[in-house]
Amino acid sequence: MTQKSSKELEVSYWISPSPVGRLLLVGSPDGLHALQFQDGAHPLDIQPAWTKSREPFHAALEQLKEYFDGSRTQFQIALNLQGTCFQRHVWKALQGIPYGRTVSYGEIARQVGSPKASRAVGAANGQNPVSIIVPCHRVIGSSGKLVGYGGGLPIKTALLALEQLRH
């Protein structure tokens, strides 16, 4: 029998209802690891080693509630994002997109210093582990059309509409 690391033992999860369906939050004392749409196109499997607990997500749940009721436009939540150096640069750039605004994949590619890498930006965007908080829904195609979203285009549309309504 293999012994689990203390970090593995400390992973918690919680599923919360929201206006766009059930949200799965996964985290540890190091921060939020994932926020996934459980009713979307790619729900995340709950791992047997995770502990079901609401308490570690108190701040995140409160801030998400405020986001959905229109009183919060930025999140202040500790994140523990695992990804490549390029993915982390893209995710950081996404956090700079103002509430209620959209940018193209090409604009993000230019921001991260890789102007010809809009497809790679799209791939990194698609691997964003904390949707909504790292606002990948604010990235659109260069034509202005909504393209791709891990939770599905109806959720992307709903999030953008929510922000436009309150912007």
> Residues near 70 by Cβ (< 8 Å), separated by ≥ 6?
162, 165, 166
d(CA 163, CA 151): 17
d(CA 112, CA 88): 10
> Residues near 160 by Cβ (< 8 Å), separated by ≥ 6?
102, 137, 138, 146
Largest Cα–Cα distance in the chain?
Answer: 54
Q: Which amino acid is at 30?
A: D
Alpha helices in 18-152 (DSSP H): 58-69, 85-95, 105-111, 118-126
Positive or negative torsion for Cα 20, 24, 29, 30:
negative
Note if 85 is an active site residue: no
Give me the catalytic one of 11, 93, 97, 136: 136
The helix/strand/coil state of 33 is strand
Active site residues: 136
